[in-house]
Structure 1
Amino acid sequence: MCGAIGRVIDNPFVRGLMDILNIRLDSSTDYNIRPNASIPISIGRDGGPVGVNANWWLFQTRTENGYTYDKRYKSFNTTKAKLFTNRKKDFTHHRCVIPASCFYEWKGNRYKIEPIDDAIAFGGLYKTWKTEDPANPHYSCSVITLPGHSKLKHIHEKSLPLMLLKDEIEPWLDDSFHNPDYWLPTLESKIRFDLRVTPVDKKDPSIQIGDSEIIKAD
């Protein structure tokens, strides 16, 4: 499960990734972004990346005040298995990238997990929802999660969020590319780059409470 992420906007790697994704740098640093938050994502449109804001919860419901998360479905994450069953249409046509500097997992303590000297490009899905203005739909998104990895079982053994490599971003966002089987190697549960794992305060994850460890790439 990926239930919280952090985005440090003055991190040069995050800024560089957001530039690649064509996301405006008008969002602020947030160490504790939780599901149902409005977050910047990048989608593919006419062969290039386009930055939009989306609700981090794939299924939405409409209210008098607009859209909000649909409590019937815990859809801030989408498991790998669903990509080839009931989320196959979204996986084929509505892939997105969600930029971040870190994510968090809990097992006794809270742990911040981040790449060393890099940003995270989460692979995700998105949906569009009709509004009164057809040119400005409401967007929602979900982070894709893979089966857990043995190197992280002491932190979180059930799942691992999909983190794309830089050379995968362009084809991932190519809205003319619709072959889901192409992504099977990408969807293997691998540590794709070195990760730093740091115990942090449960309420304020900007506060480190223990020594970091390095999880080496496979």
Structure 2
Amino acid sequence: MCGRFAMNKDTDDLIREFMTTTGRPAPEWRPSWNVAPTDSVPVVRERSGERELDLVRWGIVSPSSPTFGGGKPIINARIETVATNGLFKSAFASHRCIVPASGYYEWQLQNGGKQPYFISGEKSDLAMAGIIRAWPDRSKDQGDPDYWRLSMAIITRDAHVAPGEVHDRMPACLTPDRFDAWLGSELAPGELLTLLDESSFDVAHELGYHPVSKAVNSVRNDGPELVGPIELDSVEL
């Protein structure tokens, strides 16, 4: 699974590569080296043929939830079922997005404790595939621009190469040549699954990983030191 990731200052350059000139200011976002579920993160999606950057809550909220923050957030959607699962099906068909990241964290059981690792692209940042759902805030009028509140989940798949040695799941990531097809509306669900399967397999072969400090375990901690490599012999288990 993917339960924590990083968006450092360099991720802003990746976001700029995604965007087209729309005349609308992009929402401000704060770099974080410890993005956690329920945080608002910048995602890229397509609306009316143009790419748009939005701040979206990480962790899908069911439309039937009485509150936007109620219940356990659904942070991941499996590629094996995302096109058929009732909660994800419509979002996968028509509300896909890209979640830029400098890398993500996974934990491995070692010596009776869990050791965090940072997994990232060896050549570039990551473009994680996601889906968006809208939750109706019935405390507001339907004409209110804030009536629909957005939440998203990151699509995951079985892991390959380096990350497979840390965890059995990984985010499904996209290569730049597949951005347009993923965000657009031309492909059927089956074609999108094939695209995502092939793209994420390609990205997996360019990933590297290293152990990091257990300080990342606490969502209260943030900063570039969290992604820095450590020597495992120096870690207190």
Q: Deviations over 1:120-165 (max 9, x none)?
A: 11000001123425433311000000123254332112x1111100
Q: Are the aligned partners of 1:8 and 1:30 in contact in 2 as well (CA < 8 Å)?
A: yes
Q: Are the aligned partners of 2:163 and 2:207 in contact in 1 as well (CA < 8 Å)?
A: no
Q: Are the aligned partners of 2:61 and 2:135 in contact in 1 as well (CA < 8 Å)?
A: no
1:173–1:34 Cα change, 3 Å? same
1:97 alignment partner, SS class: strand
Report the Cα offset of residue 171 of structure 1: 1.6
1:68 alignment partner, SS class: coil
Structure 1 gaps of 5+ residues are 212-218
Report the Cα offset of residue 198 of structure 1: 1.3
1:147, 1:154 → 2: CA distance? 11
1:170–1:38 Cα change, 3 Å? same
Aligned to 1:39: 41
Aligned to 1:68: 69
Report the Cα offset of residue 178 of structure 1: 4.7
1:206, 1:103 → 2: CA distance? 9
Matched, 1:177 2:186: yes
Matched, 1:138 2:149: yes
Q: Are the aligned partners of 1:18 and 1:24 in contact in 2 as well (CA < 8 Å)?
A: no
Q: Are the aligned partners of 2:96 and 2:131 in contact in 1 as well (CA < 8 Å)?
A: yes
Aligned to 1:160: 170
Aligned to 1:56: 58
Aligned to 2:135: 129
Aligned to 1:92: 93
Q: Are the aligned partners of 1:18 and 1:25 in contact in 2 as well (CA < 8 Å)?
A: no
Aligned to 1:77: 76
1:69–1:7 Cα change, 3 Å? farther
Cα RMSD for the two superposed structures: 2.2
Structure 2 gaps of 5+ residues are 20-24, 110-114, 217-225, 233-237
1:152, 1:194 → 2: CA distance? 10
Aligned to 1:21: 18
1:187 alignment partner, SS class: helix
Structure 1 vs Structure 2: percent identity of aligned residues? 25
1:190 alignment partner, SS class: helix
2:75, 2:152 → 1: CA distance? 7
Aligned to 1:112: 118
Opposite residue 77 of structure 1, the aligned amino acid is N
* Higher fraction of helix: 2
Aligned residues between the structures: 201
1:178–1:59 Cα change, 3 Å? farther
1:152–1:120 Cα change, 3 Å? closer
Aligned to 1:210: 231
What TM-score do the two structures reach when normalised by structure 2? 0.76
Q: Are the aligned partners of 1:56 and 1:141 in contact in 2 as well (CA < 8 Å)?
A: yes
Opposite residue 156 of structure 1, the aligned amino acid is H
1:51 alignment partner, SS class: strand
Within 5 A, what are the aligned runs for 1:176-195? 176-183=185-192, 184-188=194-198, 190-192=201-203, 193-195=205-207
Q: Are the aligned partners of 1:126 and 1:139 in contact in 2 as well (CA < 8 Å)?
A: yes
Q: Deviations over 1:69-104 (max 9, x none)?
A: 532xx5100001222212222111110111110101
2:181, 2:71 → 1: CA distance? 30
* Rg comparison, structure with higher value: 2
1:162–1:209 Cα change, 3 Å? same
